[in-house]
Amino acid sequence: MCGIAGEVSYSHSVIKNKDSFLRMQKVLTPRGPDQNGLYIKENAALIHSRLCVIDIENGKQPMTAVYDGKEYAIVYNGELYNTDEIRKELTVLGHKFTGHSDTEVILKSFVQWKEACVEKFNGIFAFAIWDDAKKRLFFARDRIGVKPLFYAVRDNSFIFGSEIKALLEHEKIEPIIDENSIAEIMFIGPGRTPGCGVFKGISEMRPASCGYYCESGIKIKKYWTLRDREHTDSFEETVEKVRLLVKDAITRQLVSDVPVGTFLSGGLDSSIISSVANSYFKERGGVLHTFSVTYEDNDKYFKQSKFQPNSDTEYIKIMANYLGCEHHLITLNNKELADALLDAVDARDLPGMADVDSSLLLFCKEIKKHCTVALSGECADEIFGGYPWYRDKTIRMINGFPWAQSTAYRKSFIKDDIKLPDAEEYVYSRYKDTIINTSKMKNITPTESRMKEMMRLNLDWFMQTLLDRKDRMSMYNALEVRVPFCDYRIAEYLYSVPWEFKDYKSYEKGLLREAVTGLLPEEVLWRKKSPYPKTHNPEYLKYVSQMLERVIENPHSPLLTFIKKEELQKLLKTEKSEPWYGQLMTTPQTIAYFVQINYWLEKYKIAII
C-alpha cells in the first residue's frame, strides 16, 4: 500500500511546482514510509510514497515502461489479487517482466488493453498512468471503493492524491467550505455523498470508475456496477458457491512478502477469516498472529443492549484456543482514546466516527508492531444482510437511510441565521437517487425489491464510511488492511441471491453461517451479531465532555460560527441516548463528533464562504 499524488497541466510547466510536490509527498509519508519517488515531465508530475509489501526491490515507483518508443509511467496504491493470472496472459502476448510486483502487471496491462485493463483486475486499487506520447493521464479506482482517490481541476490543471491533505498542500488549492460542505458534515456526516470531497472544489473518484484527463478536459466513466439477474442455483449450490468464493478471496489476500495477521473480534466475519488464514499458515509451517481490541474496565461497565447482547471477551478466547494461534489482546486507555480523536481527524482529513475511528487508529498502531498487513472482516454485513435494518421489517421500510434517522435532531444544532440547503430534502434526494438507480429484475416480490435497495444503499453509503475509516486509520500507521469480503465476485454473486437464502433459519447472515460450517466452533458460528467494540467506561464520556466544554467556553471556536452554543450545552447534560449514525454513534460519540469538527476547522485553517 502507498500514497499517490500528482498534477497534469497544459497551462504551464509543472516542473516549477516541485516544492508543492515535495510537500504533497511529505504529508503522504505515513501511508508509505519505506520509499519515495517522483516523476516529472513538462506536463505531468507523479508522486509516490511506498509501503513495501510485494517485491520490495523491483516494485519501486513511479514505475516507467517504454513500448514502441512510447513512455508510460504509473503511481499505484493497492493490491492486485489475480496478479499471477494476468501476468501469464501478458507473457503469452509477448510482455516480459523484471520482477513479481503487481505494479508492473498493472502498467503492462494498460499498455496492452488501455482502459479495458480495469475490467480484468480483482483487487483494491487507485492508480494513475501518464501516457507521455499522447500527453494524457489515465486514472482508476477499484470496484468496491476500498482505496481512495481525490482530485480537483484548477486552471487547466488536474491535481490528485490518495488523501485530501495532499491536495491541500498544492498552491492552487485552498481549504474552503461552503453551505453544501456544512450540510455534508451536519446532515450526512460522518458519511459523505458519493463523489463529494466536502472541501469546495475537491471531488472523490467514485468506486468502479476510470477516466482520462487531457488538454480537452476530464472524462470519467463507470466500468462496473451490480446488476440483478436470475438466480438459478439451488440453496445447496449457493451454499457451496459462497464457501468457495469466501475461502478463495481470503486465501488470495494472504499473499505477501511481509508479515500478515488478522483481526479477531470473536464475531462471525473475523473468525471466518482467521480460521482460513490459520489453515493457510499451518500448511506452510507458519503461525498466525491474531489481534483483538478491548477497553480499560470494559468488563466492569459493559451493559447488554439490543444491538450488543454480549461482550467479545469470551468468544475471542474460544476462537484463539480453537485456532492455536498467537493471539494479542490490546487494551486501550480511555484518556488516550479521547486524545486520539484529533489524530483521527488528521488521518481522515474530516470529522469522522469519533472513538469508532480513534480506537481503530490506536489498535492499528499496536498491530503494526507485529505485522505490516492484516485482514479484517468489514463488509460481510452489507453483502450478506447482517445489520439490524435488514432484518427489522419496520426499520427497513422507512424512507431514508436506516442508520441515520436523525435529520431533525442534527438540524436542531444549526444556528437560525445560517442558510443551508433544506435538511430533509438534502438527505432524502440522495436516498432517492440511490433507490432509483438500483438494478432490479422485473416482477420480483416487494421484499426482494426492497432488499436490493437495501444492499445498494449499504454498499454506496454505509460501507463507504467504514472503508474510509479502515483505510485512513490503518494507513496512518503504515498498516495495510485487506478486506476479503469486499471481493467484487462475492458482491456480484450475492446481489442476486434471494433473501430467503440469505435469511436461512431466520438468522442474520444465515447463508454465510451455513457456508462456513466446520470452519468454526458452534458457539461462534451461531453467535448473534455484535458490532465493533466500543468503550462503556464513563471516564470516556467525562473526557470528551471536558473537551467540548473547552470549545464552548472559547468565544473564538470556529464551531460556534454555525452551531448553537445552547444546544451543545444541552447535549452535555442530556441523559438520553440519541443515535447520530447507526448503533455505534450515540451521545458520547456525538459530543466527540463536535469536538472533531471544531478541531478540523482550526487545524486545516478552513475558510467558510
376, 295 Cβ separation under 8 angstroms: no
Listed residue (292, 288, 293, 284) closest to 326, CA to CA: 288
Cβ neighbours for 462, distance < 8 A, ≥ 6 positions apart: 191, 382, 387, 401, 403, 582
Helix-helix angle 102-113:83-92, to 10 degrees: 50
Listed residue (53, 47, 46) closest to 72, CA to CA: 46
Cell of 439: 438494478
Q: How many CA atoms lie within 13 A of 231 on its CB side?
A: 23
Beta carbons within 10 angstroms of residue 445's beta carbon: 11
375, 484 Cβ separation under 8 angstroms: yes
Cβ neighbours for 419, distance < 8 A, ≥ 6 positions apart: 179
Does the active-site annotation cover 2? yes
152, 218 Cβ separation under 8 angstroms: no
Instruction: State residue 364 phi and psi, 5-degree precision.
Output: -65, -35
Listed residue (567, 545, 555, 562) closest to 597, CA to CA: 562
How far CA 405 is from CA of 40, 91, 398, 427, 581, in Å, comes to 48, 53, 9, 10, 8
Listed residue (239, 326, 314, 329) closest to 274, CA to CA: 326
CA 450 from chain centre, in angstroms, equals: 25
Measured at the alpha carbon of residue 48, what is the angle toward residues 487 and 12, in degrees to the nearest 5?
120
How far CA 363 is from CA of 62, 329, 358, 461, in Å, comes to 31, 10, 8, 24
Q: How far is residue 389's CA from residue 605's CA, in Å, rounded to a whole number?
A: 38
14, 39 Cβ separation under 8 angstroms: no
Residue whose grid cell is 451543545:
568
Residue whose grid cell is 442474520:
508
The active-site residue, picked from 2, 117, 364, 486, is 2
E-only strand ranges, 68-182: 70-80, 123-131, 136-141, 150-154, 157-161, 176-177
Q: How far is residue 370's CA from residue 261's CA, in Å, rounded to a whole number?
A: 8
Q: What residues are annotated to the active site?
A: 2
